[in-house]
């Protein structure tokens, strides 16, 4: 059986998308279904390629039992549009950049991540980079909700 391939995308791949990658992987581990998925994250911009996630994102995740330290930032590549089954954008700006870069035959794979958190009023996972710790906590909460909703959608 082939794996379900999921790519989480934000701008720089050091805050939101690595948090989503870590949270979703932990959810899969907890549910015993990690072997059914391939999970990755990337950024629409190459600002931080090769870097670890932001220390504040790592600390927030660590406090909640999620490890991000192994993740390294990378930029979305043209091959990703073919490779991944789901490409989940953290916000509408990155969604639009992905749509513009993606061949039309793969655009159906691109979704806003918070579409999978219908109880949340937000459409975008806000970028916490220039804010304080509360922003990272809020991002984690949003990502946790959307991860559960996404999982229930693909594994009913």
Q: Tell me which of 15, 16, 56, 102 is the catalytic residue.
A: 16
Q: Tell me which of 54, 91, 127, 145 is the catalytic residue.
A: 127
What mean pLDDT do residues 43-57 have?
98
> Over the stretch 129-139, which tens digit does the pLDDT of each residue have?
999 999 999 99
Q: Tell me which of 10, 15, 54, 56 is the catalytic residue.
A: 10
Q: Describe the crossing of helices 16-31 and 55-63 by its angle, rounded to 10 degrees.
A: 20
93 as an active site residue: the answer is: no
pLDDT higher than threshold 80 for residue 156:
no
16 as an active site residue: the answer is: yes
Count of structural domains, the chain: 1
Q: For the domain that residue 91 is a member of, what is the CATH number?
A: 3.40.50.2300
pLDDT higher than threshold 90 for residue 1:
no
Pair of tokens at residue 105? 């035959």
Q: What is the pTM of this model?
A: 0.98
- Domain holding 86, by residue range, is 4-154
Cα distance between residue 108 and residue 81, in whole Å: 10
> How deeply is 52 buried, as exposed, middle or buried, from its count of CB atoms within 10 A (0-12, 13-18, 19+)?
middle
């Amino acid at each position: 059986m082939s794996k379900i391939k999921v790519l989480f995308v934000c701008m720089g791949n050091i805050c939101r998308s690595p948090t989503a990658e870590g949270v979703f992987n932990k959810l899969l581990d907890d549910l015993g279904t990690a072997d059914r998925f391939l999970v990755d994250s990337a950024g629409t911009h190459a600002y931080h390629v090769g870097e670890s996630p932001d220390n504040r994102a790592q600390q927030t995740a660590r406090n909640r039992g999620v490890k991000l330290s192994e993740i390294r930032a990378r930029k979305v590549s043209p091959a990703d549009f073919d490779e991944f089954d789901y490409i989940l954008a953290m916000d509408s700006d990155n969604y639009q950049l992905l749509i513009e870069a993606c061949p039309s035959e793969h655009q159906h794979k691109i979704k806003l991540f918070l579409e999978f958190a219908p109880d949340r009023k937000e459409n975008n996972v806000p970028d916490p980079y220039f804010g304080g710790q509360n922003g990272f906590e809020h991002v984690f909460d949003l990502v946790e909700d959307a991860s559960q909703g996404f999982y229930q959608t693909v594994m009913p």
